[in-house]
Amino acid sequence: MTSKSITITRRDFLRRSSLAAVGVAGIAVAPSLLTACGNTESSLSRAREQGFIRVGFANEAPYGYATAAGEVTGEAPEVARIVLSRLGIDELDGVVTTFSSLIPGLQAGRFDMIAAGMFITPDRCDAILFSDPDYCIPQAFGVEAGNPLNLLSYEDVAANPDATLGVLGGAVEEEYALDLGVSEDQLVTFDQAASMAEGLQAGRVNAFALTSLSVRTQIERLDDPGLEITPAFVPVIEGEEQVGCGGYGFREDDEEFRDAFNEVLVEMKDNDEIVPIVEEFGFTADEIDSAKGRTAAELCEA
C-alpha cells in the first residue's frame, strides 16, 4: 500500500513555501521536519513557530482515521488536538500510512508524532519515545456468527491447526499469537483493520484479532449478521497479563516535546477530561480510568 497525506490545514503553505524534494515512499517532505538534515531546533519549538504539526496515523477506527471529507479524527487525534492546542499548536496536518510504517515514518521525519492509539511495548520503546498511556483495553476476535470453531483465545487458535487468524501488520496481535503457540502458517497479515474484517467476511480467515473496541467497530461497520465479536480477554504470556495500553509516539531526540505533551496529557487524565472527548468513538470511563497511574516507563519495562 502506498502511503498518502491527508491534510487538514495549511496544505498550500506546505506545498508552496516549505516542501522540498526529499522522497520517503514517494512523498515530498519538508526538510525542517527531518532530523537527518541537521536542524537542532526541537519539533515543539518549530511547531509553535509554524502553528501546525504533522501527525501520523494508520486509518484504524476508532483510534485514528480519515473521514469521508479527508479530515483526521478518532480517539488519538482528538485528544492530541486538545493537548497540542494547550502547547500553542493549533493545527494538525495528518499523514496516513500503514500501521507497520508508523515508526519508520516517524524516524524518517515524515511526521513529528504518532497519534494512532499505539500500544506501548518494550520493543517499540527501543525505537521511539512514548507518552504515558491514555487508555488500556483488552483483546477480542471477530468470528463467524456462532463461532463454529470456538475460538476465544490465542491458545484456542494454536490448538486447532486448521484455524487461520488475521492480524494487522506491525501490531501486537501477531506477537501475542506466536508467543502463545499459533504457527506462522496460521496467520494472515493485513495492512488495514477494515480489510481484516472483510477477509473474515470473505472466508479468507476464521477469525481476526484486534482490541475489543476495534473489532466491535469493524463488525458494526459491516452490519453482517453472519459475523460477531467474541468476549473480551487479556492474553497471559509466561504468567504475565498483557494489558494493552496506548499512547503517543515521538522521536528519540524529541524528549522535550514528549515531556511537554505528557505533562498536559497526564493532567487531563487526572482531571477526567479525556472521556468526554473520546466517548463518541466508543470509549468509556473504564478504558480511560484503567490507564490512570500507569506510565510509559512502567510499560516499557514490562
Q: Which percentage of the chain shows pLDDT scores above 70?
A: 87
pLDDT, tens digit (0-9, with 9 covering 90-100), for 248-284: 999 999 999 999 999 999 999 999 999 999 999 999 9
30 vs 22: CA distance, rounded Å? 7
pLDDT, tens digit (0-9, with 9 covering 90-100), for 10-50: 333 333 333 332 333 333 333 334 444 445 578 999 999 99
210 vs 215: CA distance, rounded Å? 6
Place of cell 537527518: 36
pLDDT, tens digit (0-9, with 9 covering 90-100), for 226-244: 999 999 999 999 999 998 9
- pTM, rounded to two decimals: 0.83
**Rounded to whole angstroms, what are the CA distances from 18 to 48, 79, 106?**
16, 27, 19
Judged against a pLDDT cut of 90, whether residue 123 lies above it is answered with yes
User: Which residues, at least 6 apart from 69, have a Cβ–Cβ distance to it below 8 Å?
Assistant: none
| pLDDT (mean) for 87-113 | 96
pLDDT, tens digit (0-9, with 9 covering 90-100), for 182-217: 999 999 999 999 999 999 999 999 999 999 999 999
- Cβ atoms 143, 206 nearer than 8 A: yes
